[in-house]
Amino acid sequence: MRRRRVRLPTLCESKLMLNYSRRFVFGAGVLASLVVGVAMGWGPVATATAQTGPSILIRPWQEEVKYAETTDRITYVPNGHVKETDGDFDVFSTESQGRIRFDPENPDPRFVLGYQADIHDFGTDDARIPEVINVVAISGGVQLGEIAEDWRVSAILGAGTANDGHWNDDNSFFGRAAVNVQYIVDETSQWNFGMDYNGNRTVFPDLPLPYVYYYSRPDPKFGYTVGFPFMSIDWLPQDQVRLEATWALPISLTGRLSYYFTEDLRVYGEYSRSTQRFHRKRDSDTRYTFYEGQQAIGAVEWANPYGVLTVGGGYAFEREFGRGWDSRDIDVFAEVSDEPFMFIQFAGRF
């Protein structure tokens, strides 16, 4: 992947009061949803979350879930700076995602809704960097029926926007669609084949891409997924130790090692790498902005009758902004300092 560093002149404008007020509103909204979740009596959940792709129909529902699985998270990265200019840069993020079904008695519902609402607010005086990234999407999934014994077909259709605060930017809108064919091998394993279109994918966003993977959990302590473009492993080598890892095309990677003090209390360390693609209204219809970064996390997680509460911190590093069509060819125009951060997360099901 070609990467060319571009230096552009900066125009310093003080927008910190506006940024802080926006953070307060975003944070209050997510915290309110956490309080509502506790009041409604959500049960404990796993940290895995649903978004808007084929997984909203494929992934099994947990027994305790009646209508929905949700995850809400607040992250704050203070005291950063832009490396080239030494201008201020900090991040306040609110992320919410989940899936909803309408038939609580059916472990394999016909209709499912998935949603994602991520807002990344940047406190910076560097005019090259946007004030905010909004990524909001919703998808509906439907089971279309069986085509043969143990073979069934499902589909999803949705839309979203990935913008820089300009909700009327036509180039920020994208479509979401997929067709999945599932073959049930037995109670512990299955094959999935399909075609997935994601108009905001970080690579080949203009093309539907095929996928295939095999999932198996031959033992309660070991499960894995092998395929393209997604692989994962979930392994408990000991009763108190758990290893989880996922990889997705092109560069999304997460690895987690957990230690359980009790069934409801654990600590874990995690590494992840991710990329956000969004459109700035001032750019052409073929130029998108990318925010990439890596992070290492340490956290404490407590499962209780109302959900799973996670509190932790970590270190964000190798953060940068670039422009291009997709991640195969990005021109980096700003690099951001490595900084510690803190976060709080609540995952619920009701």
What residue segments make up the domains of the chain, in order of their start?
2-349
Alpha carbons 245 and 256: distance in angstroms, whole number? 6
* Alpha carbon distance 322, 329 (integer Å): 9
pLDDT in tens, 3-49: 433 333 333 333 333 343 333 333 333 333 332 332 222 222 233 33
Q: pLDDT tens, 211-236?
A: 999 999 999 899 999 998 889 999 99
251: helix, coil or strand?
coil
329: confidence class by pLDDT, cuts 50, 70, 90? confident
Tokens of 151: 């073979």
pLDDT digits (tens, 9 = 90+) for 4-16: 333 333 333 333 3
d(CA 225, CA 192): 10
Q: Name the region of 104 (left: φ>0; alpha: ψ -120 to 50; beta: rest).
A: alpha
Q: Do strands 288-304 and 265-278 pair parallel, antiparallel, or not at all (unpaired)?
A: antiparallel
Residue 165 contacts residue 171 (beta carbons within 8 Å): no
Predicted pLDDT of residue 311:
98
What pTM did the predictor assign?
Answer: 0.81
Other residues' Cβ atoms within 10 Å of the Cβ of residue 86: 10
